[in-house]
Amino acid sequence: MKRVIPVFLTLVFLFGSTGVVWSAAANTGPSFDCDRASTPTEKAICSSEMLSRLDRALAIVYKKKRAKLAAGSENLAAFLDEQRQWNKKRSSTCGNNVQCLSRIYQERIDFLAASTQIYAIKGGKFFTDEGEVPLGCFSELMIQLNGDDIVAAVYLDRTVLRGCITSNKHVLDENKNYRFSIEKEKKNDVFWIRICELNSGSMGQYCDKLIIQFVKRRYLTPKGNKDVVSIEKLGEWK
């Protein structure tokens, strides 16, 4: 069988339990080296231009989703296990049946594309496609000094106007007025965070321990609906 020569950066992950090293390959084959294909499923993929194309597409969406999951997090561990289980199902359910493989690949691609993470974590900071999330956006969810607890969610990205990331209310230059840490990362995009607002009064700072979740909130307009990346307050932790 003709060897597929990788021409792009190796993706450096094992895709499944077969031991085949998956890499972004030339557009004539799948994302793995067909010379190392050993199972009926892998050989069927290498023999089909359509399945090879689907395999490359799946490798791309997989890489994008994995790249946004923090190393060592529960979310990453769950995602890797989910992919291993899918690979086992792919082989046990379809074998070398091209029609079955085509269907199961397309379903997986659609699922991962729809569930691609809406945020990223870099250096202990959160980002969306619109940029870094100012710490003031998280402070909106804090309990007020007078005991008021009235804000349940914050739009981070644009609705039809500016969301918190691009608003004039909270800017990155004001991050120096806060202390922020991610204490735990849980499943389903839930985080335990600690945020302190610094002040010049006798208290010095006021802190809150929040449980938040990244979500897409539906925003309704006369011209149509839009799903907006947001943070929701689920509660507090001790």
CA within 13 Å, CB half, 219 = 18
Strands (E), the chain: 13-14, 21-22, 120-122, 125-128, 131-132, 153-155, 178-185, 190-198, 205-221, 224-236
pLDDT 10s digits, 56-92: 999 999 998 888 777 777 778 888 999 999 999 999 9
What percent of the chain has pLDDT above 90?
67
For the chain, the distance separating the N- and C-terminal CA atoms, rounded to the nearest angstrom, is 60
> Which of 204, 152, 213, 154 has its CA nearest to residue 178?
204
The three-point CA angle 163-165-168 to 5° equals 80
Q: How far apart are CA 141 and CA 132, in angstroms?
A: 18
Higher pLDDT, 9 or 146: 146
> Which of 187, 183, 192, 235 has its CA nearest to residue 77?
187
Q: Which residues pair with 195 in a beta bridge?
A: 180, 208
**Does 10 have pLDDT greater than 60?**
no
pLDDT 10s digits, 212-222: 999 999 999 99
The sheet with strand 178-185 has its strands ordered as: 153-155, 224-236, 205-221, 190-198, 178-185
**Does 40 have pLDDT greater than 60?**
yes
Q: How far is CA 147 from CA 144, 150, 207, 208, 238, in A?
A: 5, 10, 13, 12, 17
Average pLDDT over residues 167-180: 95
Q: What confidence category does residue 27 fall into, taking pLDDT thresholds of 50, 70 and 90?
A: low
